[in-house]
Structures are given as structure tokens and as C-alpha cells.
Amino acid sequence: MPEYVLEIVEGPEAGRLIPLPGPIEIGRDPAVGGALLQDELISRHHTRVTPLDDGARVEDLESRNGTFVDGDQIFSPAHLAPGGQLLVGVSVLQLRPAEEARARTSVQPIPASLTALRPLPAQEPAVTAVRQVPTLAMAEAEPDYVPASAFDSNDSSAQPLLALLDVHTKGKARGAPIGLFVLAAFAVILYLALR
């Protein structure tokens, strides 16, 4: 039987190899054979992977977020072929022959355009020019579309605008449940009277 490994190609522990000498469980519990402690969406005992001659058998262990083999959620044991992908939580694991996985990785590097603003965690921050991102916050400005004199309570032309103030709207919103209660009580009384 060929020797297989599961390589984490996406997720918090990308690049890590999990050997498959025999059946192993994958989960957040440190005691399982394939412990993925950094993925918070994985159950403590998420899935079981059993190596076979032509790949591996994957069984979901009643995990909360499910187990996916090659993009499809599984509900019974499923076959994972070499090169196939297993998704648990946010981690994507690829089944690979051990000698091939040790020779080269399947993990794709993060493009430089995505790491320009923030260096990768493994790298030391370089002393380079930082691209300035304009802030979206602006100082509060006085509205120029409604003059301040429009809210003068002594002015009779301002009365229509006073009704639109938040204080008046909130007062009407407080009275609405009472009106609904009275309407519902009236409907019940009318129903019982006509019955």
C-alpha cells in the first residue's frame, strides 16, 4: 500500500503535512492524530481518514459544519483519490503520495499584490515606504441644505419641519403599540359579539 500524507493547502496551518500511517481522526482535540488547533470551525472530532491502496476513505464524525470531499458534502463514507481535496472548517487538505509531497508543496504563495499593505506573518516587517490609504472618515459638517433658522419654533413656516424631527418621530413610534393593542382588542370584542 502506498504511503500517503494530507497536505494543508489552504487555511491557518497551510503547508503542514499530516502523515497517514493508518486511520486518523482530524479535529480540534489535541489528542487526535490530525489536530488542527488553529481552525475554529472544526469540531473536536470532525472526520476520520483511512488510507487505502487507491486513496483514502473519509467519514464525517457528525461534525457541526460538515465534511466536504472534492467540493461535495458527505453524509456517508466517501472515497478521496490522490490529488483530491478534503474541506473541514476553513482548512483544505489535499491527499498526496508522501514522496511527492516531501519533494514539492502544493501550497500556492500569496501574491505580492495582496501582501503589499501588510507583510506576511513569517516575514520581518521591512522598512519601506508604506502606501498611504486615504481615510474614509471626515469631520462632521454643518448641513447646507436646511438653514438653521428653519428649526426656530417661533417661526410658523418651520412647523412642517418640526414634525420631521427625530423627537417627534420617536413619540409617534411609542404610541403605535398602544394603537395596535386597542385595535386588536376591538377586533376580539367584535368577533365575540358576532359569534
Per-residue pLDDT of the chain (195 residues; tens, 9 = 90+): 789 999 999 888 888 899 999 999 999 999 999 999 999 999 999 999 999 999 999 999 999 999 999 999 999 999 999 999 999 999 999 999 988 877 777 676 666 665 555 555 554 444 444 445 455 556 666 666 666 666 565 666 556 666 566 666 667 777 888 999 999 999 999 999 998
**Of residues 80, 26, 75, 27, the one with CA closest to residue 52:** 80
Task: For residue 93, give the nearest of 21, 27, 44, 30 by alpha carbon.
Answer: 27
Helix (H, G, I), strand (E, B) or coil at 93: strand
- Please count the other Cβ atoms lying within 10 Å of the Cβ belonging to residue 44: 15
- What pLDDT does residue 99 have? 83
Task: Assess contact for 55 and 95: CB atoms under 8 A.
Answer: yes
Say what the pLDDT of residue 140 is: 65
Which residues face 191 on adjacent strands? none
User: Which residues are CB-contacts of 150 (< 8 A; sequence separation ≥ 6)?
Assistant: 157, 158, 161
* Residues facing 20 on adjacent strands: 4
Nearest to 5 by CA among 77, 89, 106, 78: 106
Query: H helices within 13-154, ranges in order?
Result: 98-103, 112-115
Please tell me the distance from the alpha carbon of residue 117 to that of residue 99, in angstroms, as a whole number.
Answer: 36
The answer to whether the predicted template modeling score (pTM) of the entire model surpasses 0.85 is no
Rg (the chain; Cα; Å): 31
